[in-house]
Amino acid sequence: MIAVSMEHPHVPHFSRRRRHAEKRYIRDRWAHFLSVDHRGFLTVEGVPVDRIVRKFGTPIYVMVEREIRRNFRRFKKVFGNDIKLQYAVKCNSNLEILRMAREEGFELDCASVGELILGLLADLKPRQLSYTNLYKTDQDLHFATKVGVQSITADSVEDLEHIAATAKKLRTQVRTVIRVNPMIDIRNYSTKGNKYGIPLKQVLKAVDIAAKSPFVDFRGFHFMGGYISSPWTLRAAARVLTKIIRDCQDKRIPIKTLSLGGGFPAAIGDQTAFPIEDLRSFPKYFRRLLEGARVTMPIQLIFEPGKSIVLNAGIGLMHVVANKEIHHFNRMIIADGSTYNFIPDALVQSNIHYDILPASKMFSPRVHKVTVGGNTCDCWDLITKGITMPKLEAGDILAAMDVGAYAQVLANNFNTIKRAAVVLIHEDGTFKQIRRRDRYSEMFAPELDVLKMADPNELERYNNLYRVNIDKIWKGQSRKNGKK
Ligand SMILES: Cc1ncc(COP(=O)(O)O)c(C=O)c1O
């Protein structure tokens, strides 16, 4: 009885603190998978972040399965059978995510032979893989053609001629799509300076080349417009492309597909994104455009979303390793992740301000402004600047939010530092590693391999090092110091 009456008054007090913490730090878009435990630690699907970092070390990415599947399903629900959906592998190419894409009824948009191979490893059929980039080598084209991918996109007249010539050599027909730059200008959005696609005035010449080649099975058009901040962008592109499709019909050149690429928005920091539901009427709009232009050919629309599926599902956990008072109004928190090895987009896109949560101090109020510096020896390596944070010390955990896209795939080994592991967390709170940290032996292999070929004597010294197996020494060390 006493225990109950002692505990009871604490319950509302505790939940009030948690509610405050959630209000202060947790944005609505994460609220269905993030919470705070009684100690003030951030939890993901109910799992406190310190449990994850104790098991796998830091820095580490956590991908939230429920959020990824929710986004796949949202696209499916909005576009149903009207638009074919292809997940853009480039934004996060982890095999588990590609498998999820397959399970959720998505095909894949691949930007390289490497991504085609990943698609096959994730058990997609070659006809479920489209291959779109700016340039392909002979070997790339041989591979994609022999495997039998859904289509190959020509990004320039030269690329198209290369595809036709390779198909001729292989004595086969290649399903080919032409990427168009529609040269649109709409409000502050323009594709005029965009490197993607064949400029509008050259498109009909490219269509003629494709239609005349007996080795090109010309399927249709592709458009990729960069970041789509308004549904109007796609409508403007569709209007231009409908005119081209009409021209093709007049020349009796059948058009079967139109891909409008990716670029669908996803919220980051305090920037918002229009909901994908705002595009619900797009298929109807496109049908009306075709009718208005008296196009009678049935055209399959394709979308290739990337970051809008995975960006908000990614959390980057880091430890604070130092707190330096540079000046009374400028405190520098050093983390064990960086803008090179962990969150490279922070460096590439200077207008992005990631939310960094004090994951081990979620009940603590924000008290002062800090800059979060990465752990590499480079002064540009600042993960975020001027963010208000509680007092932090070495050992605290930080959570960088919205790092599910263009982080893991862009991360590099600058300073010869290993890239982080990735954990997938399920809705029931179980989690598993879906990518391990790099190994030194594989990081050095490209150089050791050529040394081996170049000069066996010179290699002797390195080889001795290699034979003692650097990774083994490292593992022994990390067992003593906790996993890294
Ligand atoms: C051809 C193509 N499709 C899809 C995408 C995916 O874009 P996002 O991740 O912005 O949706 C890209 C990104 O560059 C692309 O080049």
Q: Where in the chain is the domain with CATH 2.40.37.10?
A: 2-64+313-435
pLDDT of the residue at 451: 72
Indicate the fold that domain 125-305 takes in CATH: TIM Barrel (3.20.20)
Tell me, what's the pLDDT at 9? 39
What is the pTM for the complete model shown?
0.92
CA-CA distances (angstroms) from residue 94 to 91, 119, 177, 307, 455? 9, 10, 27, 13, 37
pLDDT at 325: 87
Q: Is the CB of 109 under 6 A from ligand 1?
A: yes
pLDDT for position 197: 95
For 118-143, how does the pLDDT look when each residue is reduced to its tens digit (9 = 90+)?
999 999 999 999 999 999 999 999 99
Nearest alpha carbon to residue 434 among 46, 52, 48, 32: 52
Return averaged pLDDT per consecutive 10 residues of the chain, 484 residues in all: 35 67 88 96 98 98 98 96 96 98 98 96 97 96 96 98 96 97 89 92 96 97 91 95 97 97 94 93 97 97 98 98 83 95 79 90 93 94 92 97 96 96 98 95 84 60 58 62 48
Model confidence over 285-308: pLDDT tens digits?
A: 999 999 999 999 999 999 999 999
∠ CA(481), CA(52), CA(406), 5° rounding? 105
Quote the ligand 1 centre to 143 CA distance (angstroms).
22
Measured in Å, residue 88 CA sits from the centre of ligand 1 at 6
Mutate to test the pocket of ligand 1, among 91, 131, 409 (most ligand atoms within 8 A of CB): 91
Nearest alpha carbon, ligand 1 atom 9: 306
The answer to whether domain 2-64+313-435 has CATH 2.40.37.10 is yes
Which atom belonging to ligand 1 lies closest to the Cα atom of 91?
9
Cβ–ligand 1 contact at 88 (below 6 Å): yes
Nearby residues of 83 by Cβ (< 8 Å), 6 or more positions away: 282, 283, 301, 302, 303
Q: How far is the CA of 211 from the centre of ligand 1 (A)?
A: 27
In this structure, the residue with its CA closest to atom 12 of ligand 1 is: 262
Task: Please report the atom of ligand 1 found closest to the CA of residue 228.
Answer: 10
Query: Which are the contacts of 125, defined by CB distance < 8 A and separation ≥ 6?
Result: none
The neighbour count for residue 305, using CB atoms within 10 Å, is 26
Q: Which single residue is written with the structure tokens 């009427």?
A: 281
Structure tokens at 149: 């991918």
Whether 132 is in the pocket of ligand 1, judged by its Cβ within 6 Å, is yes
**Ligand 1 and 404: CB distance under 6 A:** no
Substitution candidate for ligand 1 out of 90, 106, 403 with most atoms within 8 A of CB: 90
Residue 453 has what pLDDT? Answer: 60
Is there an atom of ligand 1 within 6 Å of 197 CB? no
CA of 251 to the centre of ligand 1 (A): 31
Ligand 1 geometric centre to CA of 263 (Å):
5
Where are the domain boundaries for CATH 3.20.20.10 in the chain? 125-305
Is residue 224 in contact with ligand 1, taking CB distance under 6 Å?
yes
Instruction: Report the separation in Å between the CA atom of 266 and the middle of ligand 1, taken as the mean of its atom positions.
Output: 13
Q: Where does residue 149 rank: exposed (0-12), middle (13-18), buried (19+ CB within 10 A)? A: buried
